[in-house]
Structure 1
C-alpha cells in the first residue's frame, strides 16, 4: 500500500508522514522531493525551475515508487504536494493503473493556519519575532510556498484530490490516527509527552528543511 500525503507547502505533510513511519511497523518513507532536489543539483542555479514541470521528475517518481511497492512488504509513505491534475495523473494515477493500492490524502487548513506553520519552521522563534514587530521575517525564506498557497488550497479542495483532512485544530498524531483508521492500518500507541513530541517535530523540521 502507498500512502500519498498531499497538501500545500507547509501544510504538515512531512510531519504526518514521519509520524506514520514512526508508528507503523515495516513502513518506509519515500520522499518524491528528493528526486527533484537531485535534478536541481545536476543544473546550474540559473536553469533551475519547478522540478515538477520536468517530465523526468514525474517519470522517475513513478518508476521508483513502482519498484519499491513491488519489492517492499510494508507500507510506503510519500509526502508530496502535487496540485496540477496532469502531474497527479502521471504519478498517483499511473501507480493506481499499474495495480498498486494507493491511498491519497490531502491535508487542508485555512490560509492563516498554513502561514503560521510556515512561520513555525523557525523552530519556535515566531512568537519572539512578533513581539518585536518582525512577525513575517521567517516567511521571507518561504516565498515559494507563500506564493503558491492560495492556488494549492483551491486545487486540493476539489473532489479529485480527496480524501480531504482538515487539520486547523488537529494535532499531527491525530491526523496520523485518522489516516490509519481510513486505511485499516494499526499504528503503535503514541507514547510521546508534550515536550518529547515538540522536540521530535523540531528534529523533523531541521532534517527536512528545503534545500
Structure 2
C-alpha cells in the first residue's frame, strides 16, 4: 500500500509522514522530492525551474514507487505536494492503473493557518541567512505564493481524501490517515517535550543548503 501525503507547502506533510513511519511497523518513506533534487543537481540553474514540469521527474517517481511497492512487503509513504491534475494522473493515477493500492490524502487548513505555519518554518530556517544561505527563505516565498492555488486545487474531488488539520495535532492527523487506510499504528508514547524535540529534529534534517 502507498500512502501519498499531499497538501500545501508548509502543511505538515513531512512531519506526518515521519510520524507514520515511526509508528507503522515495516513501513518505508520514499520522498519524491529527492528525484527532483537530483534533476536540479544535474542541470544548470537557468534550466531548473519547477522540477515537476519535467517528464523525467514524473516518470522517475512512477518507476521508483512502482519498484518499491512491488518488492517491499510493507506500507510505503510518499510526502509530496502535487496540484497539477495531469501530473497527478501521471504519478498517482498510473500507480493505481498498475494495480497498486494507493491511498491519497490532502492535508488542508485555512489560509491563515497555512501562512502561520510557513512563517514558523521560515523563522526556524532563518539561521541559514546568517550563514549566507538565502535559498531557504526564497523557498518560503515560493511556498507563500502557491498557497491559494494549492488550497483551491487540493479541495477538488480528484484529490480526495481531504483532511482538514486546523484543529488537529500532527499525531491526530497520522491517526486519522492510518484509520482511513485500515492500518494499525503503534501507540504514541511521546510526551510534549519529546514530541517537540522530534519535530524540531525532523525539520533540521530536511533543511537544504543547495
TM-score, normalised relative to structure 2 = 0.91
Q: State the partner residue of 1:135.
A: none
- Could you tell me whether the CA contact under 8 Å between 1:119 and 1:139 is conserved in 2? no
Deviations 1:7-49 (A, max 9, x none): 0010000000000000000000000000000000011112211
Q: CA deviation at 1:203?
A: 0.8
Which ranges of structure 2 fall in alignment gaps of 5 or more residues?
127-135
Partner of 2:167: 169
Correspondence list, 1:190-201, <5 A: 190-201=188-199
Q: Distance in 1 between matches of 2:122 and 2:139?
A: 10
Match of 1:151 in 2: 149
After TM superposition, the score normalised by the length of structure 1 is: 0.91
Rounded to whole Å, the distance in 1 between the matches of 2:142 and 2:177 is 28
2:122–2:137 Cα contact (<8 Å) kept: no
Corresponding residue for residue 98 of structure 1 = 98
**Structure 1 runs of 4+ with >2 Å offset:** 122-126, 138-141
Q: CA deviation at 1:209?
A: 2.3
1:61-118 Cα distance to aligned partner (Å, 9 max, x none) = 0000000000000000000001000000000000000000000000000111111111
Aligned residue in 1 for 2:131: none
- Which whole-Å CA distance do the structure 2 matches of 1:155 and 1:200 have between them? 31
- The equivalent residue for 2:111 is 111
Give me the whole-angstrom Cα distance separating, in 1, the residues matched to 2:125 and 2:147: 22
Structure 2 distance, partners of 1:31, 1:107, is 16
Aligned: 1:70 with 2:83? no
2:3 and 2:78 in contact (8 A); partners too: yes
Distance in 1 (CA, whole Å) between partners of 2:70 and 2:48 is: 32
Q: Give secondary structure in 2 for the equivalent of 1:105.
A: strand
The count of corresponding residues between Structure 1 and Structure 2 is 200
Deviation at 1:121, TM superposition (A): 1.5
1:141-166 deviation digits (Å, cap 9, x = unpaired): 51110111100100000011000000
- Residue in 2 aligned with 1:4? 4
Cα separation, 1, equivalents of 2:125 and 2:55: 38
Q: Secondary structure at the match of 1:3?
A: strand
1:79 aligns with 79
Aligned counterparts of 2:65 and 2:197: Cα–Cα separation in 1? 30
Point out where structure 1 has 5 or more consecutive residues left out of the alignment.
127-137
Alignment of 1:184 onto 2:191: no
Give distance in 2, aligned partners of 1:140 and 1:29. 26
